[in-house]
């Protein structure tokens, strides 16, 4: 049997599925991952510096422009077959929870509902000093607009060194701990606390399926490893699951 068959076998036996996705699932939509060398203007900056409160405090204009350029690119890209396959898989299970580290909203664009965005969404904003909600900032501003309280506006994403939004990680933990199968797609498994979810799921008895072009720390304990692009592997897993489900009927 192929690894696609192995994955479909595990999935078809499951009632409750949880998914953890990372930047790799959006790569085939044309969004660079964090591991990719930063392109162009950003080649000389470390994302962990830019995506941090200190980075913003030191150079609000630079960080604002980094997010603005990511938002401009996002406006031109579409969800890819990997996102769509997950959205379609969801209807085959009693419970199917997508937990994402991505801030690009592409799972929702592909039709996934109830997506848990561990690190927020790049199209939402709040003020830096007091967290006041703020409207979507127009694209193309050279520097951060000001909140009514006088503080800079920032993207309402989770930066390195910041806690995740209240309750969000708890929701992800519940989904991981109650899953029969935990599917990990396109993440290097290096950023915590998100990277702790696969072992939490495994310790609670879930079978792990990892889809990644390369092996990661998660591969050590995955039951199935599919070493291919998710935009190709996920539609094949979906197709095999449908075949199995229709042959059982
Ligand atoms: C926290 C939003 C505590 C922003 C992101 C020292 C100081 C402070 C903190 C720490 C520290 N040391 C450790 C920490 C904890 C830190 C951390 O984990 N650091 C790491 C680097 C060691 N974590 C935090 O700071 C977290 N908060 O700990 O808070 C706390 C608690 C209470 C109160 C206060 C504080 C917050 C982390 C969230 C950071 N924000 N994103 C933005 O996007 O701009 S993280 C960001 O990077 C992404 O969201 C994502 O999570 C991460 C990148 O990881 P991946 O998604 O995996 O992407 P990556 O590029 O790494 O890998 C892509 C993979 O895809 C590769 O494996 C590749 O092979 C594969 N791939 C590529 N193409 C494909 C593919 N796979 C399949 N198909 C393809 N086609």
What would the pLDDT profile of 32-49 be if each residue is shown by its tens digit?
Answer: 998 776 776 677 788 888
As given in the structure block, the two tokens for residue 168 are 């969000």
Instruction: For ligand 1, pick from 7, 20, 23, 157 the residue to mutate: most ligand atoms within 8 Å of CB.
Output: 23
Q: Once rounded to an integer, what is the mean pLDDT over residues 197-205?
A: 98
β-pairing, 116-117 vs 153-157, is unpaired
Q: Is 203 exposed, middle or buried (0-12, 13-18, 19+ CB in 10 A)?
A: exposed
Q: Residues with Cβ < 8 Å from 25, sequence gap 6 or more?
A: 80, 82, 83, 100, 102, 106, 185, 186, 230, 231
What mean pLDDT is reported for the chain?
Answer: 95
pLDDT of 63: 96
Please write the tens of the pLDDT for every residue from 143-200: 999 999 999 999 999 999 999 998 999 999 999 999 999 999 999 999 999 999 999 9
List the residue whose alpha carbon is closest to atom 49 of ligand 1: 101
List beta partners, residue 30: none
Under the banding of pLDDT at 50, 70 and 90, the label for residue 23 is: very high
Q: Among this protein's residues, is 83 annotated catalytic?
A: no
Is the N-terminal amide bond of 193 cis, ω within 30° of 0? yes
Q: Once rounded to an integer, what is the mean pLDDT over residues 213-236?
A: 98
pLDDT of 31: 94
0.85 exceeded by the pTM?
yes
pLDDT of 79: 98
């Amino acid at each position: 049997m192929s690894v696609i068959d192995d994955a479909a076998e595990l999935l078809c036996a499951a009632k409750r599925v949880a998914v953890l996705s990372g930047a790799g699932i959006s790569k085939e939509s044309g969004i660079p991952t964090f591991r990719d060398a930063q392109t162009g203007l950003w080649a000389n900056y470390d994302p962990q510096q830019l995506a941090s409160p200190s980075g913003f405090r030191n150079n609000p204009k630079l960080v604002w422009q980094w997010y603005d350029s990511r938002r401009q690119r996002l406006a031109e890209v579409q969800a890819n077959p990997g996102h769509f396959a997950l959205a379609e898989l969801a209807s085959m299970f009693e419970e199917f929870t997508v937990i994402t580290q991505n801030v690009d909203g592409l799972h929702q664009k592909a039709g996934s509902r109830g997506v848990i965005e561990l690190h927020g969404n790049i199209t939402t904003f709040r003020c830096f000093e007091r967290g006041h909600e703020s409207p979507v900032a127009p694209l193309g501003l050279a520097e951060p607009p000001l909140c009514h309280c006088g503080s800079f506006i920032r993207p309402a994403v989770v930066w390195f060194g910041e806690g995740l939004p209240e309750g969000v990680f708890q929701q992800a933990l519940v989904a991981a701990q109650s899953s029969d199968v935990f599917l990990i797609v396109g993440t290097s498994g290096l950023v915590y606390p998100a990277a702790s979810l696969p072992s939490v799921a495994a310790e609670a008895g879930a079978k792990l399926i990892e889809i990644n072009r390369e092996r990661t720390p998660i591969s050590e304990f995955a039951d199935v490893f599919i070493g291919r692009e998710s935009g190709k592997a996920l539609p094949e897993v979906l197709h095999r699951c449908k075949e199995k489900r229709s042959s059982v009927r």
